Amino acid sequence: QSVLSQPPSASGTPGQRVAISCSGGISNIGSNSVSWYQQLPGSAPKLLIYRNNLRPSGVPDRFSGSKSGTSASLAISGLRSEDEAEYYCAAWDDNLSGSVLFGGGTKLTVL
């Protein structure tokens, strides 16, 4: 069971906007930055969002992140078929000797 909670699934139709939530606690999301990763089947994860809301070079601005208190959210606008993937949130935890926590992952289906 992951300490960071994500819905196991989400879905949307092409062009729609979807949001994926990530809920944690004071010692992790409440105290540290959140990052988001996209994992396509058979591939390594790819960094999508870091420091809560920043995009690495090359990540489309359709992807955005936000954080409030002990929760974070990843939003994808203008949904495309290639966005169908697994999405994970992550944050360091101050209570666990500096461990990194990942959410359980959300499988996004583009209908």
Task: For the CB of residue 42, give the shortest distance to other proteins in the complex, in Å.
Answer: 9
* SS3 at position 108: strand
Site string for other proteins, 5-44 (x = CB under 8 A): ---------------------------xx-x-x-x----x
Indicate the residue among 33 and 77 with the shorter CB distance to other proteins.
Answer: 33
Assigned token pair, 22: 């990530």
Is there binding between residue 99 and other proteins (CB under 8 A)?
A: yes
Q: Would you call 43 exposed, middle or buried from its count of C-beta atoms within 10 A (0-12, 13-18, 19+)?
A: exposed
Enclosing H/E stretch for 76? strand 71-76
Number of residues lying near other proteins (CB under 8 A): 27
Task: Tell me the sheet residues that pair with 50.
Answer: 54
Q: Which is nearer to other proteins, 16 or 99 (CB)?
A: 99
DSSP readout, 8-41?
Answer: SEEEE-TT--EEEEEE--TTTTTTS--EEEEE-T
Which of positions 41-80 make contact with other proteins (CB under 8 A)?
Answer: 44-47, 50-51, 56
- Chain contacts with other proteins (rule: CB under 8 A): 2, 32-33, 35, 37, 39, 44-47, 50-51, 56, 86, 88, 90, 92, 96-105
